[in-house]
Amino acid sequence: MPIIHMLSVFNSNSPALLKKKAKVTFEDITKLTSDSRSARSARARAAMLARAFIDKTFIEGAERMGAYQDVAMLCLAQGKPIPPEPVASGFQEVETATGAAVWVYLPEEYAEAAFSLGARYQRIDITAEQAVDGAQNLLDQVCRYEFKYDEPLTALTFLREELEMEDETTPGDPDDDVAGEDES
């Protein structure tokens, strides 16, 4: 083992150690049975980090699928084998409300679901509304069943805002009836 790699084991800020801590934190939160103030606070923090994880993993899924599609098309054009599709990671480095970066862990099925929603949205397999609904259902599932946290949180706020802006700028359908006109 290279000496530099060995030294990273002793560095408390090494990504490997921080990821391990993130997984332990997830497991600890899911095991909480208390309803004390500190337990509720830990659940709330975990839920907000899960929201950030899902949002970031959705974006990563869309971006990586876009890049994959470009590579796949190039491989097809050149007669080369198409590489496997990208997959999600159970870890994301997200920014907290204070601006600090922390590693967050979610089990593979949640990470893959968020990543897949982003990838499917990028491929235009689902609409923006379907992506928002899917991400919201996923966040609700993580919060309620993993963290026992029932306060509402909103997934994919950036996409919701984009949809609202489109609704505000999209003029009505020209085929719509004009008020007061008779169709005869």
2: alpha, beta or left, given left = phi > 0 and alpha = psi -120 to 50?
beta
Instruction: Specify if 180 maps to a domain.
Output: no
The Cβ of residue 51 has, within 10 Å, a number of other Cβ atoms equal to 22
Instruction: Specify if 122 maps to a domain.
Output: yes
Instruction: Specify if 182 maps to a domain.
Output: no
For residue range 22-33, list pLDDT tens digits in order: 999 999 999 999
Identify the pLDDT of residue 168. Answer: 86
pLDDT for residue 180 is more than 50: no
- Distance between CA atoms of 113 and 30, rounded to whole angstroms? 19
Identify the pLDDT of residue 167. Answer: 86
Identify the pLDDT of residue 49. Answer: 97
103 sits in which H/E element: strand 101-105
Task: Give the C-alpha distances (Å, rounded to integers) separating 149 from 58, 80, 103, 104.
Answer: 22, 49, 20, 17
Listed residue (56, 50, 57) closest to 139, CA to CA: 50
Structural domain boundaries, residue 52:
11-156
Q: What is the pLDDT averaged over residues 160-166?
A: 92
Beta bridge partners of 102: 94
Report the domain count for the chain.
1
pTM score above 0.95:
no
152: alpha, beta or left, given left = phi > 0 and alpha = psi -120 to 50?
beta
Identify the pLDDT of residue 80. Answer: 95
For residue range 45-69, list pLDDT tens digits in order: 999 999 999 999 999 999 999 999 9
Q: What is the pLDDT averaged over residues 144-148?
A: 97
For residue range 92-136, list pLDDT tens digits in order: 999 988 999 999 999 999 999 999 999 999 999 999 999 999 999
Q: Are 129 and 44 in contact (CB under 8 A)?
A: no
